[in-house]
Structure 1
Amino acid sequence: MVRTPAAVRDAERWTAHNYHPLPVVISSAEGAWLTDVDGRRYLDCLAGYSALNFGHRHPQLIAAAHAQLDRLTLTSRAFIHDQFADFCRELAELCGKDLVLPMNTGAEAVETAIKVARKWGYQVKGVPAGQATIVVAEGNFHGRTTTIVSFSTDTDARDDFGPYTPGFRIVPYGDLAALEAAIDDTTVAVLIEPIQGEQGVVVPPEGYLPGVRRVCTERNVLFVADEIQSGLGRTGSTFACDDEGVTPDMYLLGKALGGGIVPVSAVVADAEVLGVLRPGQHGSTFGGNPLACAVATEVVRLLATGEFQRRSAELGARLHESLRALVGQGLVAVRGRGLWAGIDIDPALMSGREACERLAERGVLAKDTHGSTIRLAPPLVVTAEELDHAVEQLAAVLAGAR
């Protein structure tokens, strides 16, 4: 008996329709592969928006979770637990920073950064009370809280959720002159994604990130890099900023930090920045909990070997070469870095949603965004042969539509 149609109907009946998922109902997974309730297998080319950089159920991460589940899962930050210091130290060392502030979700990390930047601006930079501004980029995606959508330019994310939070200046992504012009004495931070994921894996122009670093240093403004999707091995380096030789003042991390097991996020910065917080001024009951720290510490240790960064760089070169060969054969553009690609399908052939539905029929799962664009972000444990298979299925979908 086929179970998928009924499971899809039940999900539609009992949940708010804030997502439009493909009609696939997953029941198990391992590595880069998913299996649905009817036993059909799919190659995962989304990896939970980079939350599954290390694949599904990575043995080292699962072992850490199991071991911690048998001991201790939650204390709140009212007490210190025995996993906390190791996680914070090892993540700080990975980032080359002094301090870590653990949270849960990516949006929480962004909200934390906004609060820290404002407090730093008032206490360190000397911005008059209540006047702090933060420069952000068009096409950004930093989360969906009311403050964050206040500076979104995506109408789906923003419309009908006002009144909006003030204090943000939006400039074109990749336009260094516009960014510099938006900074004044009230500016406390520039908050950007080193590569814009939700926008379609948009890589900024060469020299942009070093330029942002220079301007922020010259104007005494914090450079806050949202590496929640782009970081932790996805682009072929530990952080996407590394590809440009840039070190921000604050790293915002999440998604892959939880190993695909638990939600973990963090703000990582030096003491002169995170040190502005005092007890009672910010927190989270679940932030930095023992289970999260146990898993995330193993994630940091996986990254410390450099293996996953190398895999992403080497296999990413293969992926991008094979995708570029499809330009003119149904694709009109390919962007990205490492095992992360945004591909634009000729809209005369089909939408991105239609392409993802046809790929799913051929056993490959991906996600569309903004009309005819598809994001490809397979787990970093994917093999060369599996990547070739995914591109072959995409080529077949494009050929069938021409």
Structure 2
Amino acid sequence: MAKEKIVLAYSGGLDTSVILKWLKETYDAEIIAFTADIGQKDELDGLEEKALATGASKIYIDDLRDEFARDFINPMFQAAALYEGQYLLGTSIARPLIAKRMVEIARAEGATAIAHGATGKGNDQVRFELTAAALAPEISVIAPWRLEEFREQFPGRAEMIAYAEKHGIPVTASAAKPYSTDRNLLHISFESGMLEDPWFDPSATSNKDMFVLSVDPEDAPDQAEYIELEFEKGDCVAINGTRLTPLQVMETLNEVGGKHGIGRVDMVENRFVGMKSRGVYETPGGTILFTAHRKMESLTMDRDVMHLRDSLISKYASLVYNGFWFAPERLAIQALVTESQKNVSGTVRLKLYKGNVIGAGVKSPVSLYNPDIATMEADPTKAYDQGDATGFIRLNALRLKVGSGVEQNANK
């Protein structure tokens, strides 16, 4: 009888390498490893050989960067999503794509389960499993870190390292970088280890080598750089006059943003599972794109449409952060967002300087800004009669006057 097949989200690090071997032994199953190339760069080197040597029957290493930029990053940025006012959701938005591809592979391979190395304290377990529930409810999920027998066998990293050595699994584990990282096309995150102390300063000179995508703003060029982003229906389609794919946009903005020390965030955030967590993020390209998109909207979006969309930012961002990318409410909000972006087209000019993204001009063929109406000088269009403001204010003040009168009478 053929063995059960399990598709494992595999990074090649200590945790997923040990989990691969443990799953194979514990479930007597065929393990199919899956790695999504979403912009990790050299972190993918040697993964195929390592996975097969560790016991995987096969490995998929799929280049999902174009899909990630086009179908996940762009729609999220159209929604102006920002979690708790700071986090551009770099890790959050990658998980539904990874899980989506996992269940596709599971179905193609006839696997009955998928597995991941997310811990029982984090957000990623929720994101992976909610996506699987939405797209493939018939496929079960194995989360080793939530299994008592796994935790008993591996109470700490020392036991995992010993297990890897016993089974000839090549892993690199040292105290040189006492924190964990997660990198993709949109950002890189740092957490745990020394960063669990919220008083620890990762920007201190002695810690500068922690950062990967950006130079320290203090070390950035002394000369500002101007950049122009062209938008069509809410998406950036060109930089400095050169037409680019969504993937190329992110790669270009990451390079120029990193050079100027843009996009560093250090925050204590609220995890979906209930605890607070300290995270440090580098999002150079995303920070530029977010700023440019908002400036393009300021010129081209109807006021009340913008305010309606903005009223949904917190909800949308929470849905992404909490793993509800494929939930009907996110899809419904996205439909509104897509409609709101139909005239978000034009060009934004920005000045990049030592960690700052500074607006330097915006123009559009569908601009809603009319200088003849907005001018403080005589209005040649006669579109706005300042005298009309008297009745406008009187009507808006009516309820305030009535309420104030009631309160004054009650206090007599």
Report the TM range for the smaller structure's normalisation.
under 0.3
Higher relative contact order (CA 8 A, sep 6+): 1
TM-score after normalising by structure 1: 0.26
Larger radius of gyration: 2
